[in-house]
Amino acid sequence: MNQVATNVRWHHATIGPEERARRLGQRGVVVWLTGLSGAGKSTIAARVDALLHARGHHSYILDGDNLRFGLCRDLGFSPEDRAENVRRLGEAARLLQDAGLIVLVAAISPYREDRARVRERLPPGGFLEVFVDAPLAVCESRDPKGLYRRARAGEIAGFSGIDAPYEPPEAPDLRLTLVPHAPGGAPSSAAASLAATPAGATATSTSPTIDVTADASDGASILRDRSVAAGATADDHAAAIVGLLAARGLLTPPAAT
Ligand SMILES: Nc1ncnc2c1ncn2[C@@H]1O[C@H](COP(=O)(O)OS(=O)(=O)O)[C@@H](OP(=O)(O)O)[C@H]1O
Ligand SMILES: Nc1ncnc2c1ncn2[C@@H]1O[C@H](COP(=O)(O)OP(=O)(O)O)[C@@H](O)[C@H]1O
């Protein structure tokens, strides 16, 4: 019963990405938010979704937590299960992207290799990796679901960042940080970021920055300047993502040929 299907073939549709982009006034893309638990992936994805909706765009969120109630409910948190989880999220995202949607994926997706495989399944420019780079100390101080406390108490094994790995992206399309920059100098340490955050407060009380590591030729440098001035609430982070989508020409229909 567990045989892989061989007698299948691909059926081509007559309506392709260009027609869908013209109809929807946008190009399908997967915005993949990766980062530790509590980094802000779900919060930021929801803000981006709302911003896009308000502007008449068509987006949809695939949240790792939520998909584990259905499509991925048979999976746990072993490296193998996480790989399969990310693969399924990637395949679901790919279908929605192909339908022309702006797909916002929020999943820890801790392994570089798993994320790279998703990128390979998408057309060039169809996958934007966004690193929600809140340091472990900040995530742990937020602990929105009490999971870090339970992991530290030994009640949850294999928790990302505690006793399971998290591999940060090496060249993300966008990196959202909360680490304050010393005036005119290099970023100060993550520990300083936490130290500047009063207990019970969020790290937004620091003077954060958004670092855009994308190619400056596509407008990323403009984003960087604006973001530094704006600070880094979840709304600023969401605006940076929308800015990146605009800079990549994904929020306008293709020019008529
Ligand atoms: N062991 C362990 N490690 C990490 N996270 C855990 C674990 N057990 C449960 N949770 C909760 O599951 C959410 C992560 O699910 P994901 O599908 O995003 O994980 S992964 O991409 O497959 O690594 C994660 O959600 P977020 O906090 O939204 O990231 C946690 O709420
Ligand atoms: N700049 C920020 N961006 C996103 N979340 C933030 C920010 N500052 C504080 N937070 C808070 O941090 C928590 C992040 O939780 P969540 O979005 O569930 O993270 P994740 O999905 O990465 O696990 C929320 O309680 C959110 O209000």
The complex scores an ipTM of 0.98
Q: Confirm whether 237 is domain-assigned.
A: yes
- Which ligand is in closest contact with the Cα of 38? 2
Q: Confirm whether 12 is domain-assigned.
A: no
The percentage of the chain sitting over the pLDDT mark of 90, rounded to a whole number, equals 74
The predicted structure's pLDDT at residue 173 = 95
What is the distance between the alpha carbons of residues 85 and 52, in angstroms, rounded to a whole number? 26
Average pLDDT over residues 230-239: 81
Give residue-wise pLDDT tens across range 162-175: 999 999 999 999 99
Give residue-wise pLDDT tens across range 114-142: 999 999 999 999 999 999 999 999 999 99
Cα 104 to middle of ligand 1, angstroms = 16
Cα 37 to middle of ligand 1, angstroms = 6
Residue nearest to atom 3 of ligand 2 (CA): 234
Q: Confirm whether 15 is domain-assigned.
A: no
Q: Confirm whether 9 is domain-assigned.
A: no
Q: In 3D, which of 209, 204, 213, 242 has the Cα closest to residue 226?
A: 209
- The reply to whether ligand 1 has any atom less than 6 angstroms from the CB of 158 is yes
Residue nearest to atom 5 of ligand 2 (CA): 40
CATH number at 45 reads 3.40.50.300
The least confident of 125-129, 184-188, 228-232 is: 184-188
What is the distance between the alpha carbons of residues 133 and 83, in angstroms, rounded to a whole number? 21
Catalytic residue among 109, 141, 193, 227: 109
109 catalytically annotated = yes
Q: Confirm whether 57 is domain-assigned.
A: yes
User: What's the whole-number average pLDDT of the chain?
Assistant: 84
Cα 247 to middle of ligand 1, angstroms = 31
Report how many domains make up the chain: 1
Q: Confirm whether 32 is domain-assigned.
A: yes
Q: Confirm whether 187 is domain-assigned.
A: yes
SS (H, E, C) the chain: CCCCCCCCCCCCCCCCHHHHHHHHCCCCEEEEEECCCCCCHHHHHHHHHHHHHHCCCCEEEEEHHHHCCCCCCCCCCCHHHHHHHHHHHHHHHHHHHHCCCEEEEECCCCCHHHHHHHHHHCCCCCEEEEEEECCHHHHHHHCCCCHHHHHHCCCCCCCECCCECCCCCCCCCEEEECCCECCCCCECCHHHHHHCCCCCCCHHHCCCCEECCCCHHHCHHHHHHHHHHHCCCHHHHHHHHHHHHHHCCCCCCCCCC
Which range of residues forms the domain containing residue 29? Answer: 24-247
Q: Which of 133, 202, 236 to mutate to test the pocket of ligand 2 (most atoms within 8 A of CB)?
A: 202
Average pLDDT over residues 25-33: 98
Residue nearest to atom 3 of ligand 1 (CA): 159
**Could you tell me if 194 and 203 are in contact, meaning their C-beta atoms sit under 8 angstroms apart?**
yes
- The reply to whether ligand 1 has any atom less than 6 angstroms from the CB of 32 is no
Cα 68 to middle of ligand 1, angstroms = 9
The ligand 2 atom at the shortest distance from the C-alpha of residue 36 is 22
